[in-house]
Every structure is written in C-alpha cells, then in structure tokens.
C-alpha cells in the first residue's frame, strides 16, 4: 500500500480540534465539515434576473429532520446564511443569497479548498461572474462552466499516481462532512455490517478515502460514472468509528452512525 503523507497547514493545528468533546465542534471544525457537506449535498449557483442582473446562491438541502435542522442552524451561525423549511415541510435548506456574504464565504474556500471537480467548477464560475459582473458574460459562458472538470479529475490532486499521497490538513473534518452527505452505515441480519461511500465522476476522491482508511478494498464502478467503496473488515470499521469520534457527524447521519456503531464494537 502507498505511504500516506499528511501535509498540515500552519493556519491550524489539527491537534487543537481533538482536545475534548466540546472543542471537536469548534468554529474551524464546522467550516471544514461544511466544505465536505457542500461537496455532497450543496450547490453553488449563478442565475440572472430578467437578463438585467446576476443573482448568486449557495444552498445545502437536507431531509427535514430535527438533527439536520440543528446542524444547518449551527452552520448558519458560523458561516452565515439562513435556514428554512421547504418542499411542503419535507426539506430543510441552508441558503445564502446576499452577494457580500457570499464573497466572505469564498474566503473560507481559500483556507479549506473544495476537492470535488464539479464544485470546483461551480465555484470558479461564481468567482468569475462576481469579478466580471456582466450578464452578457454570464449568458455567453454558463454552458461552459464544467469545461475544466476532466482536467481537474486528471490532475492527480493528491499524488495518487506518484505513490506518495499528500492530503490537506482539513481532510479529516472535510471527510466527516462528506460522510454526512454521501456515507452509508449498513446493518444486516447476517451481521455482515458495512460502511460505504460513493461519488459521481471523481474516482480520485474515493481512492483518497480508501487510502486514508488504510483498506485494500476495490473501488467499484457499478454504473455510469459513479464510483463507490464498501468496507466490511472489522479493523477498518473500527478505524471509521475512531475517525468519527474525533471528527463528529452533526446531522441525521450521526444518529445512523450511533445505531450502526453498537453492532460493530
């Protein structure tokens, strides 16, 4: 297996996040977690109003459960934005529409950059639209926002092809946010319990998660451009439990995790 090299920024000491239960959910942790959650369940949008002005929007949509509502409120307290119930009560969303608030939020992405190709493209398009502030430019380029996606996927962001892996200092918090969005804790009568996670297009994301978990399981491609990893080995499942205890889930997935954890330990 390749050597996993963690590269930590001077901006934050990862040990500061793990002092005790309260400190695990400090503001910096919430920012890292939020970036991971945005990658899976978020959207970075630019629209126009009657071709007269541009409108910017960041959204995270979740099932309307108390745990998800509380999670999004906590995110809004740290990141900004508002939380409201939509979809005839079925959904809860975190949303930011204010241009200046979005400009401030972009600064968080500069500290804890997005890692998935689609969200990177969405953010780059948003930043260009804000910079140019031109409806004409937006209309001419909106269908090209994902032109760089393939090059991002092939860029070897984490050094996977070189065999010495470099992952950012915020990856652990990011991963918990991503698990909140895309992870699945499966409990089976056969006791063949598992953890799985998947992503469209970005096999490199699933591969870096595989390396972080120190598992030899194969990354599968069950359909189209969807890649997934499912692990059953108890040693790996205990590693995941330890990761989440140090980097807590904040929404409904936390409830799912605690039910699942009882079957693993």
User: Do 54 and 124 lie in a common domain?
Assistant: yes
Q: What pLDDT score was predicted for residue 166?
A: 87
Verify that 43 and 139 share a domain, yes or no. Answer: yes
pLDDT value of position 86: 94
Q: How many domains does the chain have?
A: 2
List, in order, residues 6 or more apart from 151 with CB less than 8 Å away.
none
Same domain, 78 and 106: yes
Same domain, 36 and 114: yes
Within this chain, do residues 176 and 143 fall inside the same structural domain, yes or no? no
Which residue range(s) make up the domain with 121? 22-153
> 56-90, pLDDT tens digit by residue?
999 999 999 999 999 999 999 999 999 999 989 99
- Give pLDDT, residue 31: 98
Could you tell me the pTM of the whole model?
0.90
Q: Is residue 221 one of the residues assigned to a domain?
A: yes
Question: Which residues in the chain land under pLDDT 50?
Answer: 1-20
pLDDT score, position 24: 67
Flag whether 17 is in a domain. no
Give residue 17's pLDDT: 42
For residues 146 and 169, membership in a common domain is answered with no
Contact criterion met (CB below 8 Å) for 99 and 19: no
Predicted pLDDT at 22: 57
Which CATH number covers residue 209? 3.10.28.10
Determine the pLDDT at residue 14: 45
Q: Write down which residue in 123, 153, 183 finishes a domain.
A: 153
């Amino acid at each position: 297996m390749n050597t996993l090299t963690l590269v930590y920024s001077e901006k934050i000491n990862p040990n500061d996040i793990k002092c005790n239960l309260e400190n695990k959910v400090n503001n910096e942790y919430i920012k890292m977690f939020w970036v991971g959650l945005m990658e899976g369940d978020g959207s970075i949008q630019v629209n126009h109003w009657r071709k007269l002005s541009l409108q910017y929007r960041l959204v995270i949509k979740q099932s309307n459960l108390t745990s998800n509502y509380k999670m999004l409120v906590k995110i809004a307290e740290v990141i900004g934005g508002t939380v409201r119930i939509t979809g005839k009560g079925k959904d809860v969303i975190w949303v930011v529409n204010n241009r200046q608030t979005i400009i401030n939020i972009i600064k968080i992405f500069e500290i804890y950059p997005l890692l998935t190709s689609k969200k990177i493209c969405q953010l780059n398009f948003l930043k260009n639209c804000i910079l140019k502030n031109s409806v004409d430019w937006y209309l001419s380029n909106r269908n090209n926002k994902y032109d760089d996606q393939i090059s991002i996927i092939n860029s070897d962001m984490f050094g996977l092809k070189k065999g010495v892996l470099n992952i950012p200092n915020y990856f652990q918090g990011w991963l918990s946010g991503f698990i909140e969005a895309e992870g699945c804790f499966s409990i089976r009568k056969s006791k063949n319990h598992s953890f799985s996670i998947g992503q469209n297009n970005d096999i490199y994301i699933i591969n870096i998660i595989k390396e972080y978990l120190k598992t030899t399981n194969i990354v599968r491609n069950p359909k189209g451009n969807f890649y997934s990893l499912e692990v059953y080995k108890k040693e790996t499942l205990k590693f995941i439990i330890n990761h989440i205890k140090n980097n807590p889930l904040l929404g409904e997935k936390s409830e799912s995790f605690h039910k699942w954890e009882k079957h693993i330990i």
